[in-house]
Structure 1
C-alpha cells in the first residue's frame, strides 16, 4: 500500500475548505469517501470536491472495507462517540480538536485506542506540524532566547450567528474550546511540560451561554504563559515567546496560509532576524505525517494522551474563572 484511503465524516467547512483540498495534494493520502446525514448532501459535496464515493450516513462510510482511515471534523460533542465507532470499525482516526467535551470523555477515547493498539489515533492540532512551529521550538530548545520565561498569545474572531455550533453550549461551543485550546497547547508544546496551576477570567454571552472572552495565566513552575481568546472581537492572532536573552514572535501562529510564505522573528542582543518559510499547507503536512505513521507502523507525531492533558487545563481555567482563585490542573 502506497496511499492511505481516507473517509471523512460530515461536510464541516474546515473539512471541505481546508483539510480535504490539502490532503488531496498529498502523495500519501487518497480521499475516497465522504459521508453526511443525507445522501443528497454528501453526494453534492463529494461531486464538488472530486471524491469518488459518498454515503448517506456515517455508519455506511465506516462499514466500507475500502476505507483505511477516518477524519472526524464533526461538532465537538460528536468527536468522541464517532471516533470510537470508527476505531471499532477498524479504521485509523484523526479527530479534530478539542478531543471531547470533557477530559473524562477524552479519556474514553484514549481507552478505546488502547483497546485497538493496531490502529493509529491522533488529535488534529495541525499548527504543530508547520515549519514555523518546528523552528520556534528548536530555537527555544537550543537556547536561542536564553532561558524560557513566559509566552503571550492572542487569538480572536467575531461570530454572532446563533445557528453556528460554536455558539451552542451543549455542543461544546465557546472560545476556550474552539480557539483557547491553541494557546494552551502551544504553551505545553514549547515548555515541554504541564502547567501546575492556572488563573482565569471568563465572560459569558447572556444569550448563548458560551464563553465569549477569556484570559488566563498558566504557571509552569519555571515560567508562565498568558493568553486571551475571544469569539466576539476583531479577528487577530499573534504569539510571543520570551526568554532571558531573546524572543520569538510568530506572525500567523494558528491559521498559517497555504498560499503564501509565513514568517517569524527571532530577536537577540545582536538584532532581529526575520525567518521566512516556503509556501506549505499545514493540513497536508498533518495528513502526510499521520499517513506515514500508518504505512510505516510508527508512532503518530502527537500521542492521543496529549489531547486529554489539554482538556484538563481548559477545565481548570473554567473553574478558576468561576471561583476567582488559582486552580490546580
Structure 2
C-alpha cells in the first residue's frame, strides 16, 4: 500500500522555496523528490539547500519523471493553467497556487481538461482553509455563536513597488486583486458556503506598472448577506477578517499568513461575553499538502473541488468588469 505521495516542484519560486517546500517536507504523507527550474544550476542549488534528491533544468523533464506522483505548481499566474494541463497529460496530480488562472474562462478550460483524467486530482492552493483557526471560525458560525451572519469585512495589504516583481507585471496576472484580493473573495464564499449574486468593484491602477494597486468591492450574497473588502499592494502591510452576526462577531487577526512558529488567535465577542481562542503554532502549508496527499492515497475527493476555483475567478472577472463600467454586475 502507498504510504507517501512523491512530489515534484514546478519552479524555484520564492513561495515554494521559502514556505511550501519546507512545510511539505514535514508531512507524514509527503516525499518531496524533485524540483525543476529553467536553469539546471538554479534547480541544483535549491535542491541542495532543501535536501531534495532530484533536480531538473526544465519543467518538461520533471513531468516525465515516472517516480513523481504529484506536482506543486507555484509558477506565475499566466502559467498556472497551461502547466497544470501539461502535468495532467503527464499523468500527475496537481496542487496549483492561487489564483487558478488568468480568467474564469481559462479556469473553465482547466476544469474541462480534468474530465479527461478522472483518476487525477487537481486543487487550488488556498492554504488558509486548512488552518485550525478557520476551521474554528466555520464551526462557531455554523453553531450559531454569533447568530445570523449578515456581513464579512476583510482587508489585506502589503507594500511592493518593485517593477520587476511578478506581482507588479500586468500582462502575467499581477496586481492586488489577483494576488491577495482572491483571498478576500474566498473568505465569505468559504463561510457562507454560497456564491455572490451581484457585486460592485473599484480598482485604482499604478500609472507606470499598470497593475491595480488598490481594489475594493461589495459582494451581495443570497438572503441579504454581504461582504466588503479592500486589498492593496502599496500600503502598509496589514490583514484582518471580521465576521458579523446579529448576536456577535468573530475577528481573525491573521487570516492569511498565519505564522507557522507563532500562536495565533481569533476573538468571539457578543454583548455578554468576549472569548479568545488561541491556536498553537502550526503550518497551514503542511496541513494543505497532507490533505491533498491523503486524497491521492485514499482516492477520495480533494477538500476543495476545482469548481470552487472557477467560481472565485468569476468574481474576480466581475470586479474588473464593474470597475471598468462603473456599475453593479450580476454574476
Residue matched to 1:129: 130
Paired residue for 2:151? 150
| 1:290-318 Cα deviation digits (max 9, x unpaired) | 00000000110000110010000011111
Shift of 1:266: 0.5
Within a 5 Å distance, the mapping from 1:159-170 to structure 2 comes to: 159-170=160-171
Q: Corresponding residue for 1:225?
A: 227
Q: The residue matched to 1:117 in structure 2 has which SS?
A: coil
- Any idea what SS the aligned residue of 2:262 has? coil
- In structure 2, distance between residues paired with 1:227 and 1:186: 10
In the alignment, the residues of structure 2 paired with residue 92 and residue 42 of structure 1 have an alpha-carbon distance, to the nearest angstrom, of 21
- Output one character per residue of 1:130-179: Cα deviation in whole Å (capped at 9) or x when no partner: 00001101111111110010001000000111111111111000000000
Q: Please state if 1:279 is matched with 2:281.
A: yes
Pairing 1:134-213 to 2, within 5 Å after superposition: 134-213=135-214
Residue 251, structure 1, aligned to residue 256, structure 2: no
Find out whether 1:319 has 2:321 as its counterpart. Answer: yes
Residue 325 of structure 1 deviates from its aligned partner by 0.9
Q: 2: distance between equivalents of 1:51 and 1:28?
A: 16
Q: Give the TM-score taking structure 1 as reference length.
A: 0.99
Number of the residue aligned with 1:261:
263
Q: Quote the Cα distance in structure 2 between the aligned partners of 1:52 and 1:84.
A: 25
Q: Which residue in the other structure is 2:47 paired with?
A: 46
User: How far did residue 262 of structure 1 move?
Assistant: 1.0
> RMSD of the TM alignment (CA)?
0.6
What is the CA–CA distance in structure 2 between the aligned matches of 1:114 and 1:303, rounded to whole Å? Answer: 13
Q: Provide, for residues 203-253 of structure 1, a one-character-per-residue CA deviation record: whole Å limited to 9, x for no partner.
A: 011111111001110000321000000000000000000000011000000
Distance between the aligned counterparts of 1:227 and 1:18, measured in 2? Answer: 26
Tell me, in whole angstroms, the C-alpha distance in 1 between the residues paired with 2:318 and 2:146. 29
Partner of 2:237: 235
> Gaps (5+ residues) in structure 1?
none
Q: Secondary structure at the match of 2:75?
A: coil
Q: How far apart in 1 are the matches of 2:213 and 2:123?
A: 28
Distance 1:162 1:201 in 2: 22
1:324 Cα offset (Å) = 1.3
TM-fit CA distance, 1:93: 0.3
Whole-angstrom distance in 2 between the partners of 1:114 and 1:185: 24
Runs (4+) of structure 1 exceeding 4 A deviation are: none
- The alignment partner of 1:203 has SS state of strand
- Structure 2 residue 77 is matched with structure 1 residue 76: yes
| Whole-angstrom distance in 2 between the partners of 1:218 and 1:172 | 22
In the TM superposition, residue 38 of structure 1 has moved relative to its aligned partner by 1.2
Residue 47 of structure 1 aligns to a residue whose secondary structure is helix
What is the number of equivalent residue pairs in this alignment? 329
Take 2:88 and 2:272, find their aligned partners in 1: how far apart are those partners? 52
Partner SS for 2:100: coil
Report deviation, 1:320.
1.0
1:27 maps to what in 2? 28
Q: How high is the TM-score relative to the length of structure 2?
A: 0.99
Distance 2:168 2:219 in 1: 26
**TM-aligned CA deviation for residue 270 of structure 1:** 2.2
Partner of 1:306: 308
